[in-house]
Structure 1
């Protein structure tokens, strides 16, 4: 039996079932006797305080409250909270308990929903997104300088944006959208804040590159040679005053260094974040990589080769590959293997390394390109090779005709 004030029968901390199970019986000295149904008798002290105000010293001590909770855990907390209104140990403790309980329920519910979403997401191969991603990379990025050269100059005057510039604008919009869709389809919940920061930086870097690359490729029509440095170009080294050369070097810095860094670092970081969610338990049956993925590995790897060589980001690429490899080894120790999307991305990077090695081996003894790329890491740009060899070949054929 637990003696509590009669007026606290409707105290909000008691559930409706507890109120129904409780039977209030008034006694002669103004107290209430509660029989708390199936919870069993709740131990009470010899004398509960009367309803009239009394000093806080008459309240039950901590030892009795602890004993009540051990005896009847269902109602111990409720009996403990039925202290006299205005007591310093009654209302604050009740509010804290309620907030903690509410936070616990909401937190468990939120994590439970997240776990259910992770379990319900299908780790199948996202052929549609990977196909659109590869297609727009080839058309809007690789095809950008080609469209700038092939299309008639009269359609796009030199003082107006070229066709390649419009391709670049479309790339800056479509690529972040596809990357966000890949993150949404990830089997695991990934850090959204990091993804958003990477997307914002990616768009900013690609936009900087858009301006610098547009001017540099327009200079090709004036005799600018990409395989030479800015100061060694015939149309640049004779400019007066010489401070104009510094301006062109600043433009080259925005294009090749700052723009590429702010473009490619977030790009590969997003791929790493996505790859971290492409793992499944070993106990599950690991499906074979689908035929559609095998068909896309070749074009995807070839584009990454162009991206690394033309963007001069081999160090960034190799560190990204090492990060993926370390992630694979770490997840394998935890009993996880790559799914079809993870294997597609990982195998594409492996083939890209092979293509880069073949490209460097083919041009290893080119003295002119060696002069432009004097560092330890020698990886010529495809468009520098084109302006050095292919354009001269085309001009020689034109003169012979």
Structure 2
């Protein structure tokens, strides 16, 4: 449904949050003239303060009051715009009513979630609604999980063009420099609490095909552990567990399944954090692996969590502008095929991956949904960046200064 009679073309919901303001600023700088953009949140006064800090193009943007706990306000918000991008989290706590309002209204939707249980619930509750209304519901549109999802899509394209057989063993090695915001920490708290209190959520968290559209049809291929042991990657780097692997890998596997397992029925996909080569890399990798276990364990226990909360950033806080500008990320994805060939995809960008770079990914996702409807894949329902936006988003991100390239190695 492309309703041009709505009051807005695009609304950023949660613009008063740390990442929401970054995305709003990016949209203000890059949206074409005439695109009708609004910002939404619970507090009009806070929205006014945010708008006053945004680039000049946003000075006349309308302000929309909406509360995730007020179904009427969410319905009115969704029905007022063609596209809604939300940063209001933790999504497992606040996100489902927003998804449902968009699915019912035929409003295209994007978010930044890395919360597997939330995406699963959104699929179960809203996929059929969105298909009926024509809404594209697109989860994980930031560093979770755009680089992973688009890299594997591009590998598939290259392998298909070369008639090299399906993808088999695929591994992403992530290296990055960046910070952590309070919103990310709050999301982690919610996921840990859910898994601890609900056996079904704990089981879901351990299922590599948790986001599959047809779990019974998934192949029996063994998948790498989300937080596997320290090891060496194919490019010689020592690697440690990558905290974002649990979300990213399931998004990639959902993309494969939504396309009829086009990447391969025997696809084995995993992600790790790259450290460095040599003895020093091995030591650092082991320290990170142990530290991650200790941190996750401490976050799961109320007493130690309260101690950590005193030093961790609170919701609404994040890295300074200088720290964001000094950040960067690089994802190197190596893939083998059924016919014995090997390929490498490289995705990289300047800027803190979770903030400056994510603002670009989210901003271009929102602009793509608002402006490129006739070029996007003709699909609706609960989707992923690769299946909803695909090559169009790759083109936009390349134009924005992000690198997406594939090389045949053998």
Bigger proportion of residues as helix: 1
So what's the TM-score if we normalise by structure 2?
A: 0.21
Bigger proportion of residues as strand: 2
